[in-house]
Amino acid sequence: MGDIDESNTGLRDLLDRILDYTVTEEDFADLKDMGANAARFVLTSYKDFEIDSEPFTYREKNFEKLDRIITWAKQYDIYLIISFMAVQGGQNTAGHSGNSGKNELWQNPDYQERLKALWKKIDDRYADEPIIAGYDIMICSKAWVILVYNIHEIISF
């Protein structure tokens, strides 16, 4: 997912509806029926919560959707670990990082400040939610992939 033209309201509306359809109350019921008590909940992109063209401006309606998901987690006693797949500037060059071809988070202090501010907003909103077991700041960073590869070299299976 590259930069989103905020004037393209049809695309933005479609992307905003992703949280309406990707996770349902039935998913939490299924997890409970399988005996799970925790789940890693990956938020696809920071762009679902922060307006890229207006840094530090947030999409309240998508936070409200996350509130609904947290309500279901509480209803079914499923602890959540919240994570982002795509962060500002991209944490690697892969398309799933939200900025295909970019790996700019690590060298750009503006992107780092935006990421910190978004996590601060999330933490401020959910700090008193006991069903939130923790945060996984981002997944699949290039540094993480290199580390896993190096560890894999020394572990025997």
The domain spans of the chain are: 9-154
Question: What is the pLDDT confidence band of residue 3, given thresholds at 50, 70 and 90?
Answer: low
pLDDT in tens, 59-115: 999 999 999 999 999 999 999 999 988 888 888 777 777 677 788 888 899 998 999
Written in H, E and C, the secondary structure of the chain is CCCCCCCCHHHHHHHHCHHHHCCCHHHHHHHHHCCCCEEEEEEEEHHHCECCCCCCCECHHHHHHHHHHHHHHHHCCCEEEEEEEECCCCCCCCHHHCCCCCCCCCCCHHHHHHHHHHHHHHHHHHCCCCCEEEEECCCCCHHHHHHHHHHHHHCCC
> Does CATH number 3.20.20.80 belong to domain 9-154?
yes
* Ranges 13-17, 81-85, 98-102, 140-144: which has the least confidence: 140-144
pTM of the model: 0.81
